[in-house]
Chains A and B, each alone.
Chain A
């Protein structure tokens, strides 16, 4: 099945599956099906073997030393990079508890789990950092196979509550993380101040690779309500009685400005940015991420 023909897992279907393990398995299978049908090969940066040159091979990989020694044309082949430390940051503030049938937190958990799975599968070391107003849970990065169970258990225990303080989470991370790591943030980025994005920029400046999955619910993107509604905050006691029809245009304008601002800042700071709706098929989200990363790794090679 080609990529175009690959049938994605919609969020509703995923929500029907009980337990993170099962959801993960489903997502991983779906994603793998997509990956296998991908035309991209080789994402390693470590040298693996020589291959005799054949027309069509990339001349940049031609081994000049071998040519000098043996007077034969060989091209180098690479293996996947190993020992990559990946820190997966999941926002578990109250606002992530929004959404039906699957909350943003649940969606984010599956996404994190799937990422952890793929990282372990390719020999990298994923770690988990769940944060709200403070760091809720931290699982240090490891590459052993039992580590996946540890991550899954930690994710299973998370609940959406309280406010958000990404800056504190990032600060915590900077204290524990090693050099040139991969940092993945899954959050709705509500109530994140300038500091948090600034810290992410600093991470990027310190040659960490930063990826942001900006996770939002469709309601938040479209504000599809009609009746006079009393809206309550999910993180504190604020509430407001609003005629949604009256404020929709202004709300969407505010939201658009917010999204554009986040995107622009990420782009300017070299942060890989994905806007994800909790209604988007997860395997599609993962595929998009993986596809985008492969050429980059090839380029690094």
Chain B
């Protein structure tokens, strides 16, 4: 501690005055002979210690007051070595970059690092003095609304005060480039860039010297997350997929949890669905390693769901949770058109298919079937179904065929299976737009009594999602043993959108896929009952039929929505005739775009400031509010921010290192001393009054 006016320290002797007064006063105390001295002694004994203490406290307070006033007048100050670089007070142009990315939200002793970043930026501005031209930038929005180079430190300080920690990810390249750009216009020869942050490696892509050194700009990295401990765990990814576990709509939700630390970590992983905790598990993570945690969850209903996977909050709690918005399919509605009904149940064209579809399979959506005959087609609304199956149907009337084409083009699924009743010419004529290839006619591969071998499934497109899950080269999911006596041949004039899924041994297609508009068509070139083949009694029949229906269904199954990265903008394409758009985000956030805001716009850029679920709704021209379930989205932080390891690109941390010496900061103490004296004065008054 040093003193600006050391001579005033002579006055510290005044501290002895209260003591002297006390001693004199004690000696001068009048003597009184008193009869009831026992009571005085008894009272005094009880109070003696307290009174004596009070007297001594009072004496000490008065001595401190007397001495403190002299001490304060001596203007004490201390010199502390600052963790900021020595910037001097000479004229200079400087850009201060505040790292406001997610990693600066890490807590150190309960305090967010960014608050320290802001404090140090203020200190830096004060240290530079009034002759410096200063500009401030943030790493996340370097071209933000901050003022350019200015000598008005008040403006700079106000800009710093307005800065808030973000949750986004950004490399510092853009900020450094922007700083270089600002300083290139500076008139002062001494130009410097100060970067205040956590010096995490994820922020540096290019060496700052490379970006600034050529322009003669000195770069100072101030690492405020000084200590070496950078341990941090994070949920870095979450995904969902259909599960083969029992139960309806069972979904496998997987989370990837990483331990960015040198010590092994045990983490509790929690799955919440629609705001409720539904499952919990544990993960042991080695140093600098990641592991997956998988949950199986059965959704009670179809539709959109919000899922979150979290671990216990640590020094950077924002990355300890990751959100997932997924759509779980409702029941698939299938219209089965029975082209060869029979009163004998097992001879009915749909006996095996119906049985297969009505068997509850593992996971996935339930299937609801409705069976009609071709004569009933007139009364059927295709739009009420997700999949239409025409099984051994002779032909579809032209008008209904047109409706069927429209149905498929809008996303519906169509399954066609052949049989004796099929009229290939009429099919080609009415459903030509949907057929993967024109039908030529049936072919008997192994006529009865000839002893000729029946056709078998030769090969399969195992990459196709239809058969991929159960197909194996050897057994073919149990389908390789099926024998086909009679099949339909297709015309070689194939459509471009055709894709053969299964082939017979002779190379002719068995199952072919085509797309039309948003919908899919699958053509099976034999029957789905046992009239032309015995596939229906093979083990692969059931999974194949279920897969076919699910594949053709226009409903998405367990489709996770795309995650939006926090700190970026989400572009939302506006529906037509929208009067108002409303966005409800996490933490009660609400944003409304009126018709005036939306006029003439086809899309809206939505800023995503924090992780969580964002719900969109629109008010149409008719005033009806409609929730946009599918367009609503989730936002997650960039997992790159979770790794807090230090960069090797930046210069030595804190205080300039090899770039310069540390600054010595003068800390005035007399303000604090004055405040202390004021408190002592109040205490003295209080004690005296109580006495």
List residues of A whose CB falls within 8 A of some B CB. Answer: 94-98, 104, 188, 190-191, 216-217, 219-220, 223, 225, 227-234, 238-243, 245-247, 250-251, 253-255, 258
Max chain A Cβ within 10 angstroms of own Cβ: one of B35, B37, B46: B35
Residues of A within 8 A of B691 (CB): 243, 245-246
* A234:B37 contact, CB within 8 angstroms: yes
Whether A247 contacts B40 by the Cβ 8 Å rule is: yes
Q: Does B37 lie within 8 Å of A243, measured CB to CB?
A: no
Q: Are A246 and B51 in contact (CB under 8 A)?
A: yes
CB–CB A232/B46 < 8 A: no
CA gap between A225 and B31 in the complex, in Å: 12
Task: Quote the shortest CB–CB distance from B32 to chain A (angstroms).
Answer: 5
Contact in complex: B46, A220 (CB < 8 Å): no
Contact mask B26-52 → A, CB, 8 Å, 1/0? 100111111111111111101100010
- Tell me, rounded to whole Å, the shortest Cβ–Cβ distance linking A96 to chain B: 7
Question: Which residue in A217, A234, A247 is a CB contact (below 8 Å) of B43?
Answer: A247
A120 to chain B, nearest CB (A): 31
Chain B residues contacting A188 (CB-CB under 8 Å) are 35-36
Residue B55, interface by CB 8 Å: yes
Report yes or no: A230 in contact with B41, Cβ–Cβ below 8 A. Answer: no
When the two chains form their complex, are residues B30 and A220 in contact, meaning their CB atoms are under 8 A apart? Answer: no
Given A231-B32, A231-B34, 6 new contacts (CB under 8 A): A230-B29, A231-B33, A232-B37, A241-B26, A250-B47, A254-B39
> 9 tightest A-B contacts by CB?
A250-B43, A95-B35, A98-B35, A220-B36, A251-B43, A247-B43, A228-B29, A233-B37, A231-B34
B28 and chain A: residue at smallest CB distance: A228
Question: Inter-chain contact count A-B, CB under 8 Å?
Answer: 95
Q: List 12 A-B contacts (CB under 8 A).
A: A98-B34, A216-B36, A227-B30, A229-B30, A231-B37, A234-B37, A238-B37, A240-B40, A246-B47, A246-B51, A251-B40, A258-B39
CA distance A72 to B29 in the complex (A): 80
CA–CA, A240 and B39, complex, Å: 11
Q: Flag if A96 contacts B29 (CB, 8 Å).
A: no
A247 touches B44 (CB 8 A): yes
Question: Which of B31, B38, B40 is packed against the most chain A CB atoms within 10 Å?
Answer: B40
Beyond A98-B34, A231-B32, whether A246 also contacts B39 by CB under 8 A is no
Inter-chain contact B39/A98, CB cutoff 8 Å:
no
Q: Is the CB of A190 within 8 A of B36?
A: yes
Chain A residues, Cβ within 8 Å of B41: 238, 240
Task: State A95–B39 Cα separation when bound (angstroms).
Answer: 13
**Which residues of chain B are near A190, meaning CB under 8 Å?**
35-36, 38
- Is B25 in the interface zone, CB < 8 Å from A? yes
From A104, A188, A229, A251, name the one whose CB has the most chain B CB atoms within 10 angstroms: A251
Q: Are A240's CB and B44's CB within 8 A? A: yes
Task: Kindly report which residue of chain A lies nearest to residue B25, judged by CB atoms.
Answer: A228
Contact size range, B: 20 to 34
Interface centre among B32, B34, B39 (most CB of A within 10 A): B34
CB distance from A150 to the nearest CB of B (A): 29
Contacts of A254 in B (CB 8 A): 39, 42-43
B35 contacts A243, CB within 8 Å?
Answer: no
Report how far A255 CA is from B41 CA in the complex, Å. Answer: 12
Query: Is B190 an interface position by the 8 A CB rule?
Result: no
> Distance in Å from the Cβ of A255 to the closest Cβ of chain B?
5
Q: Which residue of B32, B38, B44 contacts A225 across the interface (Cβ within 8 Å)?
A: B32
> B54 contacts the other chain (Cβ, under 8 Å)?
yes
Q: How far is the CB of B386 from chain A (nearest CB, A)?
A: 90
Q: Which residues of B contact A228 (CB under 8 A)?
A: 25-26, 29
Q: Enumerate chain A residues within 8 angstroms of B37, measured Cβ to Cβ.
A: 231-234, 238-240
Question: A242 near B40 (CB under 8 angstroms)?
Answer: yes
A6 to B486, CA, bound (A): 146
Cβ B54 vs Cβ A246 within 8 A: yes
- Residue in A closest to B41 when the chains form the complex, CB atoms: A240
Contacts of B38 in A (CB 8 A): 190-191
Most buried by A among B41, B43, B47, B54: B43
Residues of B close to A230: CB separation below 8 A: 29-32
* Contact (Cβ within 8 A) A243 B55: yes
Chain B CB count within 10 A is highest, among A97, A223, A234, A246, for A246
Distance, CA A233 to CA B35, complexed state (A): 6
A255 touches B36 (CB 8 A): yes
CB interface residues, B 10-26, toward A, < 8 Å: 25-26
* Residue in contact with A255 in the complex, picked from B29, B32, B39, B55, CB distance below 8 Å: B39
- Is A229 in contact with B39, judged by CB distance below 8 angstroms? no
Q: Smallest distance from the beta carbon of B48 to chain A beta carbons, Å?
A: 9
Cβ A232 vs Cβ B34 within 8 A: yes
Which residue of B25, B32, B34, B46 is within 8 Å of A250 (Cβ)? B46
Residues B226-276 near A (CB distance < 8 A): none
B53 to chain A, nearest CB (A): 11
A217 to B39, CA, bound (A): 14
A219 near B40 with CB under 8 A, answer no
Q: Residue of A at shortest CB range from B55?
A: A243
Residue of B at shortest CB range from A103? B35
Which residues of B lie under 8 Å from residue A216 when comparing CB positions?
Answer: 36
Report the separation of the CA atoms of residues A75 and B204 in the bound assembly, to the nearest whole angstrom: 127
* CA A232 to CA B36, docked complex, whole Å: 10
**Interface-centre pick from B32, B36, B42 (highest chain A CB count, 10 A):** B36
Closest chain-A Cβ to B679's Cβ sits at a distance in Å of 23
Q: Is the CB of A241 within 8 A of B29?
A: yes
CB-based contact A98/B40 at 8 Å: no
- Complex Cα distance A258/B36, Å? 11
Give the distance in Å from the alpha carbon of A243 to the alpha carbon of B42 in the complex: 14
Q: How far is the CB of B625 from chain A (nearest CB, A)?
A: 73
Q: Given A95, A219, A227, A253, which contacts B29 in the complex, CB threshold below 8 Å?
A: A227
B35 interface neighbour in A217, A225, A227, A258, Cβ under 8 Å:
A217
Nearest to B54 among chain A residues (CB) is A246
Assembly CA distance A251 to B35 (angstroms): 13
Q: In angstroms, how far is the closest chain A Cβ from the Cβ of B619?
A: 74
Residues of A within 8 A of B54 (CB): 246
A238 to B30, CA, bound (A): 15
Expressed in whole angstroms, the Cα–Cα distance for A97 and B38 within the complex equals 16
From A246, which residue of chain B is reached at the shortest CB distance? B51
**A157 to B274 CA separation, bound complex (whole angstroms):** 104
The CA of A95 and the CA of B33, in the complex, are separated in Å by 9
CB contacts (< 8 Å) of A220 on chain B: these are: 34-36, 39
In the complex, are the beta carbons of B31 and A232 less than 8 A apart? yes
From B25, B29, B39, A251 is in contact (CB under 8 Å) with B39
A104 lies within 8 A of B47 (CB): no
In the complex, what residues of A have CB within 8 A of residue B29's CB?
Answer: 227-230, 241
**B30 (CB) vs chain A CBs: closest residue:** A229
Question: Across the interface, which residues of A come within 8 angstroms of B36, CB to CB?
Answer: 95, 188, 190, 216, 220, 251, 255
- The reply to whether B34 and A219 form a contact with Cβ atoms under 8 Å apart is yes
B26 lies within 8 A of A234 (CB): no
Among A96, A97, A232, A250, find the residue whose CB has the most chain B CB atoms closer than 10 A: A250
A residues within 8 A CB of B51? 243, 246-247
Task: Give the nearest-CB partner of A220 in chain B.
Answer: B36
Say yes or no: A98 contacts B26, CB within 8 Å.
no
Contact B35 A229 (CB under 8 A): no
In the complex, are the beta carbons of B32 and A229 less than 8 A apart? yes
Q: Which residues of A contact B33 (CB under 8 A)?
A: 98, 231-234
